[in-house]
Amino acid sequence: MSGLAGWDWAVIGAYFAALVVVVWWSSKRQDTSEDYFLAGRNIGWFAVGASLFASNIGSEHIVGLSGQGASSGMAMAHWELHAWVMIMLAWVFVPFYYRSGVFTMPEFLERRFSPAARWMLSVVSLVAYVFTKVSVTVYAGALVFEALLPDLSLHILGQVYGPFWIGAFATVIATGVYTIFGGLRAVLYTDTAQAIVLLAGSFFITLFGLRLLGGWGELISVCKTDATRFALWRPLSDPDFPWLGVLIASPVIGIWYWCTDQYIVQRTLAAKNLTNARRGAIWGGFLKVWPVMIFLIPGMIGYALHQKGMLQIPLKDSGGIQGDMVFATMVKTLLPTGLRGLVVGGLLAALMSSLSSLFNSSASLFTVDIYEKIRPGRSERHLVAVGRVATGVVVALGMLWIPVMHTIGQGGLYKYLQSVQGYLAPPITAVFLLGLFWKRINSAGAVAGLALGFILGMVKLVLEACAGAGYLESMPWLEAVATFNFLYASGVLLLISVIIIVGVSLLSPPPPAEQIAGLTYATASPEQRRENRQSWNWIDIFGTVVVLGLVLGMYTYFTVWLR
């Protein structure tokens, strides 16, 4: 069974009709910049947590993570068990962010360090958003259209555009429109519904796949035939995922993404109070536990079905399956009419929720951290208008980058994304952690660490691209740097960033006491400590224990499951 039938389109149509209603309602409540960028700071914990989850789970997860499951087993599960990092967000970072009343993470850096630190983080974040998250997410979503609607075509000015281009451009434009008009409130509320659809759809993929395969035991049996490839922990000799490299790089990327990135943290800043902000992060952590089961495991199920001749996954020209086509192939082959439409709705929901969150965060960064600094004193309505224009520009840049992403080739999207983030994350992670826990760190150290760390990360990325194109064959020492494992490279960049930040800070005057008052753990006032203590109770403790217990349980099980 393939393609989409009438009931499938009916389900998809109903989903988008509901989306239009939410956006229309949200657009009526956008009078101030706080309304547009932070939904009036009046969002409850359930919507905050659901938005954290849905914003994280994009098409690069559904397509790329399933593909990694088929090609490398449980190796990427470490990045999907970052629920424990979200507990750090809830208890360590959120209290400082929320009490400071900031709109953006660069704004927080300005209060802790200086305007230079704010500018640097804003520019780096915008560049990273446009050239990694937008492009990879849209590319992955377009692959889904290519698999589900292979006969779709459109004739424009004598050119024929296939399902890849139609799907890519249609979703970018539609998402841009509802983000421009609805602001963060539309993003948050549509994310809540999308998280539910996403979880339900992926659950059914796993259920139907396991039923056809013959159960969980049969999956283990197939994976045991190549246990090293599908294991959670790999030996140090493994060229891609040595266990030591995973232990180093995964937390660095996780802390940057979940605790310091505007794209994610903006959801907690929209909460109605500190209690809801923390509880939303804990609820998001609970949801974050499950991608291993609903995205990565289906990829492994698809591989097993292919090995047993029950499913035909497209092959690469060089041999081997096209991992990034596994999930879409399972959708169109295994699911009945109607349910297939629900899962396609989930795929579209994931794509649109990630893009909408990204667009809104980019608009926030540009408007609050760049435009308002260049042209201060503008009215609230003017700032909202600028935010909408900024969102439109990001949409346009994302569309322009799609043809470039189309040249990447088949497979490996999720690993590619993690490697790029592994080069961007270390200096930012170092600055935030040192800034919160050591009051001696000053602006000079923070700016030097951010600048040099970013430059070194980009050098590694460029060298890696050059080596892949064969340009470094005559320069073995540069090629050695280019091919140095991305996990270890992330750790080296973190170490260099820490040395620069600490060294420059100690060689220059300490920050004034009044500047850092209340912005580090050592300088928190008694009132701040009392407010923080009053913002949590046994419910938050219980939720934290449940999340950490689930993470520990999954690590324990998948460490021994193939023995």
Q: What is the mean pLDDT of residues 521-545?
A: 90
Report the candidate in 30, 31, 56 with the shortest Cα–Cα distance to residue 185: 30
- CA terminus-to-terminus distance, the chain: 36
Cα–chain-centroid distance for residue 240?
21
At residue 383's C-alpha, the angle toward residues 382 and 389, to 5°, is 90
Report the mean per-residue pLDDT for the chain: 81
At residue 472's C-alpha, the angle toward residues 468 and 474, to 5°, is 145
Q: Give the pLDDT score at 542.
A: 97
Global pTM value: 0.83
Helix (H, G, I), strand (E, B) or coil at 149: coil
CA neighbours within 13 Å on the CB side: how many for 120?
Answer: 23
Q: What is the mean pLDDT of residues 193-205?
A: 73
Orientation of helix 297-307 relative to helix 216-224, angle to 10°: 70
Q: What is the mean pLDDT of residues 137-161?
A: 70
User: Looking at the predicted structure, is the pLDDT value of residue 422 above 80?
Assistant: yes
User: Looking at the predicted structure, is the pLDDT value of residue 342 above 60?
Assistant: yes
Q: Let me know: does 37 contact 180? Beta carbons within 8 Å.
A: no
Domain ranges of the chain: 6-16+42-420
Report the candidate in 144, 539, 168 with the shortest Cα–Cα distance to residue 346: 144
Q: Give the pLDDT score at 252.
A: 95
Q: Give the pLDDT score at 6.
A: 76
Q: Give the pLDDT score at 112.
A: 92
What number of other Cβ atoms are within 10 A of residue 303's Cβ?
27
User: Looking at the predicted structure, is the pLDDT value of residue 372 above 70?
Assistant: yes
Q: Give the pLDDT score at 71.
A: 84
Placement of tokens 């092959």 in the chain: 315
Q: Give the pLDDT score at 411.
A: 40
Give the pLDDT band of residue 250 (cuts 50, 70, 90): very high
Query: Is domain 6-16+42-420 in CATH 3.40.30.10, yes or no?
Result: no
Q: Give the pLDDT score at 378.
A: 78
Q: Give the pLDDT score at 88.
A: 95
Q: Give the pLDDT score at 409.
A: 40
Q: What is the mean pLDDT of residues 332-358?
A: 73
User: Looking at the predicted structure, is the pLDDT value of residue 121 above 60?
Assistant: yes
263-322 pLDDT tens trace: 788 778 888 888 999 999 999 999 899 888 888 898 899 999 988 888 888 777 666 777
Q: What is the mean pLDDT of residues 247-267?
A: 89
Residues 6+ apart with CB under 8 A from 90: 278, 279, 281, 282, 285, 540, 544
Give the pLDDT band of residue 36 (cuts 50, 70, 90): very low
Placement of tokens 């959120």 in the chain: 94
State what percent of residues in the chain have pLDDT above 90.
29
355-369 pLDDT tens trace: 766 676 677 777 777
User: Looking at the predicted structure, is the pLDDT value of residue 32 above 90?
Assistant: no
d(C-alpha 337, C-alpha 388), whole Å: 38
User: Looking at the predicted structure, is the pLDDT value of residue 175 above 80?
Assistant: no
435-469 pLDDT tens trace: 999 999 999 999 999 999 999 998 988 888 777 76
505-527 pLDDT tens trace: 999 999 999 888 888 888 888 88
User: Looking at the predicted structure, is the pLDDT value of residue 56 above 60?
Assistant: yes
3-state SS string for 414-480: HHHHHHHHHHHHHHHHHHHHHHHHCCCCCHHHHHHHHHHHHHHHHHHHHHHHHHHCCCCCCCHHHHH
Q: Give the pLDDT score at 280.
A: 93
Q: Give the pLDDT score at 39.
A: 44
What number of other Cβ atoms are within 10 A of residue 510's Cβ?
12
d(C-alpha 116, C-alpha 442), whole Å: 12
User: Looking at the predicted structure, is the pLDDT value of residue 407 above 60?
Assistant: no
Tokens of 529: 């400590």
- Write phi, then psi, for 215 (nearest 5 degrees): 110, 175
Q: Let me know: does 347 contact 141? Beta carbons within 8 Å.
A: yes
Q: Give the pLDDT score at 83.
A: 94
82-116 pLDDT tens trace: 999 999 999 999 888 877 777 778 888 989 999 88
Q: Give the pLDDT score at 34.
A: 47
Give 463 or 21, the one with higher predicted confidence.
463
Q: Let me know: does 414 contact 60? Beta carbons within 8 Å.
A: yes
Give the pLDDT band of residue 176 (cuts 50, 70, 90): low
Q: Give the pLDDT score at 363.
A: 74
Q: Give the pLDDT score at 417.
A: 74
Q: Tell me the Ramachandran region of residue 214: left when phi exceeds 0, alpha when psi lies from -120 to 50, beta otherwise.
A: left
Name the least confident of 198-207, 234-243, 251-260, 502-511: 198-207
Give 341 or 450, the one with higher predicted confidence.
450
Q: Let me know: does 49 contact 287? Beta carbons within 8 Å.
A: yes
State what percent of residues in the chain have pLDDT above 70.
79
User: Looking at the predicted structure, is the pLDDT value of residue 26 above 90?
Assistant: no
Q: Let me know: does 501 contact 445? Beta carbons within 8 Å.
A: yes
Q: Give the pLDDT score at 494.
A: 97
What stretches of 57-162 show up as alpha helix (H) in DSSP? 59, 66-72, 77-80, 83-88, 94-100, 105-112, 115-128, 135-148
